[in-house]
Amino acid sequence: MGKYYMSVDLGTSSVRAFIADLEGRVYHSAGEGYDVAIPRIGWAEQDPALWYDRTVRAIRAALERSGVDPRDIAAVSFSGQMHGTVAVDESGKPLMNAIIWMDQRSGEVLDEIYERVGAPAILEHTQNRVAAGYVLGTLYWLKTRQPELFGRVHKVMLPKDYVKYRLSGVISTDFSDAAGSLTLDNRSLRWARPVLDALGIPEAILPDLGPSTKVVGHVTEQAARETGLSTDTLVVNGGGDSFMQAVGNAIIEEGVFSSNIGTGGQVATTVGAPIFDPKLRTSTFAHVVPGRWQIMGGVLNSGISLKWITRQVLRDDDYDAVNRAVAQCPPGANGLFFLPYLTGERTPHMDPKARGAFVGLTLDHGRAEMERAVMEGVACALRDCLEVLLEAGARCDRIVAAGGGARSDVWLQIQADIFDRDVYRSASLEQACLGAAITAAVGAGAYPDFETACAACVDPPNKVFHPIPENVAVYRRGYPIFREIYKQNKGIFHQIDDMTHK
């Protein structure tokens, strides 16, 4: 068996291929980018064929740059953006663009779902609130709004599972990603049949279920020709990106929180039992680690908020310059606030009609204040998640930063100040990639379990950001204002949404 392990991390903005040895040492990684299509306000789609095309490019580039013989890659596994819906026909071809996690179109059918199933049954069989952007709501939207297309659906996959299918020829998913579809019972680890039956969604269209470490097959001959991989390489199930970031940070025991700023954002922690917020403002999903669960608060727009303000509004993508400018701007952005609800919001509002907003603008404000306000607004939204998880009974001994936002010292300091807690930066800047590579190694039998693998492969955090007392004092005044802005404007946001959708 080869000594190298590959992971494919399918994100919302890019895909990365990553190669590591048994100690987790990176030999090379390569990435390819793509965009989100917004065909109308509130919708968000991506082309699955484009995902695979970019994956092929990334794998070939990683192999070329590393110099690793493809025959020495024992296994490949996956990390992927969660909640999205890929529907294929009997030939395995997508029937439409994938409807991804930030899509809000199924918000219009949520009341119908609750009327047909009942809130107690949904809680009993999924342990979560149904929200827009998840597979369950999207499938019911397709069934009721586009029944002809729904009738042609042979199988449904989550995003990373489509890429896995193209590599292996096998349609399968794991418990963590299945949990994020809201069609899984997290206690029994089986499809939530009572919910599916009540909505008229055939269980047969869902993929085969298994652990994240399950070997589903080998790289097919066609995929080997396309990617340069060997047909001897095992294909391992993989999991959702939030869980793979947890594994890549060795967050597999209780007490450690992750604060992730990717395209979206999450605050999450591992728990030993499927606890959940009584108000259902969080998600509780089966972990990739057997016998554990993850409780998570989700922010729809974190890194994408900064991308939006820099590229789309200010027409600049020099993030080094952004970080320098923000570092020179005082905490509180001179009284400017930003709500990062550009595509609605999940935790704590669960409101697909929420809107983004700058509040407090004056003629004295410039781009530095706007950029800092965006970073602070995202951090405040993440603190909302943190507070809800603490209310639900999760224990927080320390916070580890994850995602692309962890590359920014100023953003990490903002988080430490707004959370009023130490924030640790991971030694790896590609935690989800590392987590999926570890999953490949465990699946291939190189390690007996995740605990052993993480001990061998994950370095401890390499830097800590301590709260600065004078900054904390500013945010103690500012954070309640941030929360009040949404409360005071919720009705206006809903009126705006109703106006733009008529």
CA distance 301 to 349: 13
Q: How far is CA 304 from CA 60, 68, 465, in A?
A: 27, 34, 23
Contact 208, 173 (CB under 8 A): yes
Q: What are phi and psi of 342, to 5 degrees?
A: -70, -25
Contact 161, 207 (CB under 8 A): yes
- For the chain, the helix, strand and coil percentages under 3-state DSSP, each to the nearest 5: 45, 20, 35
| 69 a catalytic residue | no
Q: Which of 241, 277, 384, 417 is catalytic?
A: 241
Q: What does 320-359 look like in DSSP terms, one character per residue?
A: HHHHHHHHHSPTTGGG-EEE--BTBB-TTT-BTT---EEE
Radius of gyration in angstroms for the set of CA atoms belonging to the chain, rounded to a whole number: 22
Strands (E), 232-305: 234-236, 239-240, 255-261, 265-271, 283-286, 293-299
Q: 201 is written with which tokens?
A: 């969604």
Active centre residues (catalytic): 241
